[in-house]
Amino acid sequence: MTYDYEFDGTAFSCPLLLTHTKKEIEKIPAGKILKIITKDPSAVIDFKTYTSITKHTLLTYEKKEELFYFYIKKGN
């Protein structure tokens, strides 16, 4: 999947991962896609919940070996 910005969150687990992701999303323009990389398996639930209560959209996510990749499109 194509993306505009990338955040390496492998050093964090939730809730710090979500806190740092929110800060990264604030930096980018609306309509752009942020790729987040993490090792935290609970991020699946956290990002689904986060995007359900914000204007942002979780486009897709995937797991490759021990890493998870999330693609969130910033809403208006």
Angle CA 18–24–29, to nearest 5: 130
Residue 4 in domain = no
Residue 12 has pLDDT above 90, yes or no: yes
Measured CA to CA, the distance from residue 74 to residue 29 in angstroms comes to 7
Residue 48 in domain = yes
Residue 35 in domain = yes
Tokens 């987040």 belong to: 36
Task: Say if CB 74 and CB 56 are below 8 A apart.
Answer: yes
For residue 47, the model assigns a pLDDT of: 97
Domain count, the chain: 1
Q: pLDDT of 13-66, one tens digit each?
A: 989 999 999 999 999 999 999 999 999 999 999 999 999 999 999 999 999 999
Instruction: Please state the pTM of the whole predicted model.
Output: 0.94
Residue 70 in domain = no
Residue 75 in domain = no
Domain holding 25, by residue range, is: 16-63
Q: If you average pLDDT over residues 1-7, what whole number do you get?
A: 97
For residue 14, the model assigns a pLDDT of: 86
